Each structure stands twice: as structure tokens, then as C-alpha cells.
Amino acid sequence: MENQSHPTLESTLKSADTEEVIDIYFYRPIGYRWALLFQKLGVTPNAVTIASIFLGVGAGVCFYFDNIWISLLGIFLLMWANSYDSADGQLARMTQKFSPLGRLLDGFAGDLWFASIYIAICLRLAPVWGWPIWVLAIIAGLFHSRQASMADYYRNIHLLFLKGKSGSELDNTKELTEKYDSLTWGGDFFSKIVTFFYRSYTRGQENWSPNFQQMFGLLKEKYGDITPEKFRIEFREKSLPLMKWTNVLSFNTRAIVLFLSVLVSQPWVYFVFELTVLNIILIYMIRKHEGFCRDFSQKIERGEYDK
């Protein structure tokens, strides 16, 4: 029987729909053990995220050196950082300690990991490549941010219609603006700053998904907070095939390519992979998602989900 002090591994997962194979059989079990330990010690999810930053940045420093053993150390540190990234979410689900700060910090941690990796690779290759390697890295980094952001957004959309609001971390700029306006600089300075940046992050996701915004608005207008079960089933069927691509755009696939490129002393390959393969997947994913959201909007307008 499950209890609060000893939650099961399954209870700390987001859903079978959105979990990746490597995560299910490797990172989630490791993260679960970390989360149990951190829960016992009273460590907060945000503290775990901060610890992952130091590990991830340490990995980046290792990738500066063209040395197989130091590269292997960097790979180990980045995998350790990612196990903490898994643990912070699992710990949050164990303790029900969710917050916009946690979401923002989680994304910021990953950005710092890869920023340090990009800088280290550029410094390593600059003597041969010169300034073009910095241009390549900056462009790859900008697209990396968008790839990860939209993957996160589509997963939370899927979870919303799969598990309801309690099972998703989907937010919108309207509610975040209302929250921002309700806070004062004098009494809520830190919360107001966090809400400002989190709202900007959310607005970026919304700007790249106009058809979903229209569909979601129609759903709210017509059905309020009670989404018809028929719609939820049909949306999940359309959205589920895209979940494998959101996982590719997240960590594991890009990390494998990064590790291989570093181990063969050709780390520039990772940047090219981001700009070609991962961007093709991003474009495909957006077009597909926007396409079926447009179709669902037409069905809603025709009243196909009315009781």
C-alpha cells in the first residue's frame, strides 16, 4: 500500500505517454532513489535543481579538454546532473511542492549546463576554427532553447488533456499577467521578478502555437473547465505520436550525440546535429500539432462535441 513517506516509483512519473525509454529504465529509477533520500533529508526540489547546475557546469568544463579520461568524467557529471534533473521533478510530485520558480529554475539549469558546454567547446576549437565556431554555437544554442521550450509545452498540453489540470504544468500569459499585476515591488519583489520571466517564457511558447491558442480558447468559451471526454480521447490519439519527438528534442538523444562527438574529438558535429536533424524535427512537430489543432477548432465550431 502506497503511503506518503514511501511513494512508489510509478507515482513519481508524469505519465506512460510522455516518458522516454531511457528515462523509464535508467534516469527515473536513479532519480527516484535520490528523491527518496532528499525527501528524508528535507531537501527541496529547487535545491536539487541548483545542485544539478554545478554538476552540469562542471561537465562543460571537462569538455574543454581533448582528453578521453576527462571527457568521460564530463559525461559522468552530465549524467549525474540529469539524474538530479529527474529527481527534482519526482521529489516535487512526492511532496506536491510545485511552483513557477521551480519550472523557471528547471529550464534555467539546463540552459546553464549547455551554455557551459558550448563555451567550453568553442574555446577548445577556437584555435583552429576561429570566430566562426562562436557563431555556429550561438545559433545552435538559440535553436536548442526553442526546441526544448516547445517540447516541454507540447508535453504539458498532452498531460492536460490526459490527466487534467492537476497532472499538467501548463500555464498561460493571461493568468500570469493577472498574478504579476497583483504582486507589488515592495512586498513581493522576488515573486514578481520570477513571474515576469516565467510569463516571458510562456509567451514565447504561445507565440509559436497560434492554432492551439485558438482551439484552447474555443474550448474554454464553449465548455468552460469541463472538457468533453470525446475531445480528450481524440486529442490524445493525435498528440500521442508526437510525444516521441518531444523526447528527442529534450535531453537523451542530444546528449548521446554530444557524448559521441566529444569522444571522437569532433564536438562541432553536435552543433550541426542541432541545426539540422533537431530543427527538422521541431518544424515537423510544430506543423503537425498546429494542423490537428486547426482541425479540432473546426469540429468545436461545428458542435461535434456538444452533448
Mean pLDDT of 53-61: 96
Q: Where are the extended beta strands (E) located within the chain?
A: none
Contact call for residues 107 and 75 (beta carbons, < 8 A) = no
- Give the model confidence (pLDDT) of 63-73 as tens digits: 999 999 999 99
DSSP of 150-184, one letter per residue? HHHHHHHHHHHHHH-GGG-----HHHHHHHHHHS-
List CB contacts of 35: < 8 A, sequence separation 6 or more: 12, 87, 88, 90, 91, 94
Quick: pLDDT tens for 77-106: 999 999 999 998 889 888 877 676 777 777
Let me know: does 146 contact 282? Beta carbons within 8 Å: yes
Decide: residue 265, CB within 10 A, 0-12 exposed, 13-18 middle, 19+ buried: exposed
pLDDT in tens, 134-192: 999 999 999 999 999 999 999 999 999 998 887 788 889 999 999 899 989 888 888 88
Do 209 and 256 contact (CB within 8 A), yes or no?
no
C-alpha triplet 92, 94, 99: angle, nearest 5°: 25
Mean pLDDT of 281-285: 97
Q: Which amino acid is present at 184?
A: T
Sorting pLDDT into bands at 50, 70 and 90, what band is 10? Answer: confident
pTM value?
A: 0.89
Q: Is the pLDDT of residue 25 over 80?
A: yes
